[in-house]
């Protein structure tokens, strides 16, 4: 095999050609950390895996919601410097636990931010996070927010690579990523504006993470409404199975999110790794087995045959970008209303043809839509893409793929114009699913858009019952 072919093969398989030596640590002082799990309940013990150039570090834990509330501070934690393995990003760091902490019974369900510091006048700082779920003995909300932690990991390139080539250490695309390393949380970008608005306005919400739908699906029985907010891109088959069963049983879901359930992933190492071959499903070892249902590629890929539309009502194939990736950079970033008499719009005063949300760019970044046709001036799903028969299109905003996105999936031309779609459907047993079709819906809550606030209230108040 020529050197060029060797390098190409290494790029395809996400393997660097640098050998397997440990990575060089940064210049001192430094501190890094991660926890042994993503979520816990009261009484569980959290193990903090830390590496620092300094012999002692301190940890501050805060619950981040309507306000940021410091709940614990630990000083003088004995720490040591540990190597960063060459394959830290795919296989984890393997650092020992420097400190353990048992979650008190009084801690509420929520997102907990961990600030790690070396102390002193010019401290090095690191961060981690975890979620506290509501335990069996605690009173529960009827609303569950599952955080998009799989997406956080997919975009983290700490220790080597992410699932993207454009910001990889060697310009390579990884195909496995580990949670046993410092993870760049995207909570502040996506879920936090929603959480701050909801908790400030009196909504009590319980929290979980993506993988809890796979490894703790029993928690769903306690809730009437499950929320996805922001950028919820990476889903495993067991996650999806659990939520689809919840809907079939009459549960409600609101996807205030976009690019949702776009890529199928497989969990490994008891939920501590994610596998995704994305645009190269033929390189996935499962490809050779002939059973392609769990291929770690797009859910909408014909080999998988399970488009995300069947769950959410919409999908990225019929959406794309708005005010991002060079697409519609001067677009309205607003939804146009098509069926103002629907309960979703109650109290908004919106009329057919009105637009809302543009001042806060609620349609932006990545968007999901469905194949549609126009009947008497109104958009109607064709249902050929898996969109449920009862799905109603309530609002739209134009969106489009970026050039090159379709090179691996040639069903669509690169200049095809789709749409972000706001819509709703109901299952046979009465489970209602609302989708916003955009990652940036919560921008309208943060900005105080009256229509976005009223619609969000309508959804929560109706579906939490």
Domain shared by 127 and 192, yes or no: no
Output the pLDDT for position 169: 66
Q: Tell me whether residue 355 is in a domain.
A: yes
| pLDDT tops 80 at residue 15 | no
Domain shared by 107 and 73, yes or no: yes
Confidence of residue 412 (pLDDT cuts 50, 70, 90): low
Domain span at 332: 143-464
Domain shared by 116 and 168, yes or no: no
Domain shared by 381 and 266, yes or no: yes
Domain count, the chain: 2
Domain shared by 259 and 405, yes or no: yes
194 sits in which H/E element:
helix 191-200
Domain shared by 394 and 423, yes or no: yes
Alpha helix locations (H) across 72-140? 88-91
Domain shared by 296 and 424, yes or no: yes
pLDDT digit string, tens, across residues 278-317: 999 999 999 999 899 999 999 999 999 999 999 999 999 9
Q: At what angle do helices 450-463 and 191-200 cross, to 10 degrees?
A: 70
| pLDDT tops 80 at residue 3 | no
Last residue of a domain, one of 109, 133, 157: 133
Q: Tell me whether residue 24 is in a domain.
A: no
Domain shared by 163 and 238, yes or no: yes
Output the pLDDT for position 413: 60
CA-wise closest residue to 413 among 401, 425, 396, 428: 401
115 sits in which H/E element:
strand 110-117
Alpha helix locations (H) across 387-441? none
CATH number of the domain bearing residue 216? 3.40.50.880
Q: What percent of the chain has pLDDT over 90?
A: 86
Bridge partner list, 355: 336
14 in Cβ contact with 177 (< 8 Å): no
Last residue of a domain, one of 65, 98, 133: 133
The vertex-94 CA angle with 91 and 96, nearest 5°, equals: 165
Domain shared by 172 and 106, yes or no: no
CATH number of the domain bearing residue 56? 2.60.40.1930
d(CA 310, CA 391): 10
Confidence of residue 13 (pLDDT cuts 50, 70, 90): very low
Pairing state between β 143-147 and 206-209: parallel
Bridge partner list, 369: 315
Output the pLDDT for position 21: 67
SS3 for 387? coil
Domain shared by 128 and 218, yes or no: no
Q: Two tokens at 353?
A: 């043809």
Span 19-37, average pLDDT:
85
Q: Tell me whether residue 4 is in a domain.
A: no
Domain shared by 192 and 264, yes or no: yes
The pTM of the full predicted model, rounded to 2 decimals, is 0.94
pLDDT digit string, tens, across residues 88-145: 999 999 999 999 999 999 999 999 999 999 988 889 999 999 999 999 888 789 999 9
Location of structure tokens 């975009």: 155
Confidence of residue 411 (pLDDT cuts 50, 70, 90): low
Q: Tell me whether residue 13 is in a domain.
A: no
Domain shared by 129 and 173, yes or no: no
pLDDT digit string, tens, across residues 348-393: 999 999 999 999 999 999 999 999 999 999 999 999 999 999 999 9
């Amino acid at each position: 095999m020529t050197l060029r072919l060797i390098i190409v093969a290494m790029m395809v398989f996400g393997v660097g050609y640098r050998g397997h030596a440990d990575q060089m640590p940064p210049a001192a002082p430094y501190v890094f950390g991660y926890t042994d799990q993503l979520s816990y309940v009261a009484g569980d013990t959290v193990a903090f895996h830390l590496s620092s150039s300094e012999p002692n570090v301190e940890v501050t834990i805060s619950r981040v919601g309507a306000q940021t509330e410091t709940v614990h501070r630990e000083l003088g934690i004995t720490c040591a410097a540990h190597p960063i393995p060459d394959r830290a990003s795919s296989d984890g760091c393997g650092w020992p636990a420097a400190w353990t902490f048992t979650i008190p019974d009084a801690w509420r369900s929520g997102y907990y931010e961990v600030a790690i510091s070396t102390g002193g006048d010019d401290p090095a700082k690191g961060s981690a996070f975890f979620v506290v779920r509501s335990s069996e003995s605690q009173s529960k909300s009827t609303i569950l927010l599952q955080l998009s932690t799989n997406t956080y990991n997919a975009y983290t390139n700490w220790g080597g690579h992410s699932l993207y080539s454009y910001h990889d250490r060697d310009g390579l695309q990884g195909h496995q990523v580990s949670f046993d390393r410092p993870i760049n949380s995207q909570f502040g970008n996506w879920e936090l504006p929603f959480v701050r608005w909801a908790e400030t306005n009196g909504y009590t919400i319980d929290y979980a993470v993506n993988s809890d739908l796979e490894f703790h699906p029993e928690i769903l029985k306690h809730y009437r409404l499950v929320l996805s907010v922001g950028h919820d891109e990476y889903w495993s088959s067991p996650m999806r199975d659990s939520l689809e069963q919840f809907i079939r049983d009459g549960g409600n879901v609101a996807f205030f999110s976009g690019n949702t359930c776009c890529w199928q992933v497989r969990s490994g190492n008891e939920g501590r790794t994610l596998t995704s071959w994305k645009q190269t499903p033929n390189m996935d070892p499962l490809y050779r087995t002939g059973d392609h249902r769990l291929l770690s590629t797009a859910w909408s890929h014909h080999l998988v045959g399970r488009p995300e539309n069947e769950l959410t009502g919409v999908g990225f194939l019929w959406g794309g970008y708005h005010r991002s990736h060079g697409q519609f950079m001067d677009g309205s970033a607003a939804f146009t209303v098509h069926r103002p008499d629907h309960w979703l719009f109650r109290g908004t005063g919106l009329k057919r043809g009105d637009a809302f949300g543009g001042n806060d760019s609620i349609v932006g970044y990545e968007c999901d839509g469905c194949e549609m046709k126009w009947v008497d001036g109104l958009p109607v799903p064709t249902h050929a893409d898996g969109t449920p028969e009862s799905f109603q299109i309530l609002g739209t905003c134009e969106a489009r793929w970026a050039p090159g996105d379709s090179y691996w999936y040639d069903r669509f031309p690169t200049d095809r114009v789709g749409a972000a779609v706001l819509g709703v459907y109901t299952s046979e047993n009465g489970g209602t699913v609302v989708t916003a079709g955009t990652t940036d819906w919560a921008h309208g809550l943060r900005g105080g858009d009256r229509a976005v606030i009223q619609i969000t209230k309508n959804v929560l108040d109706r579906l939490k019952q």
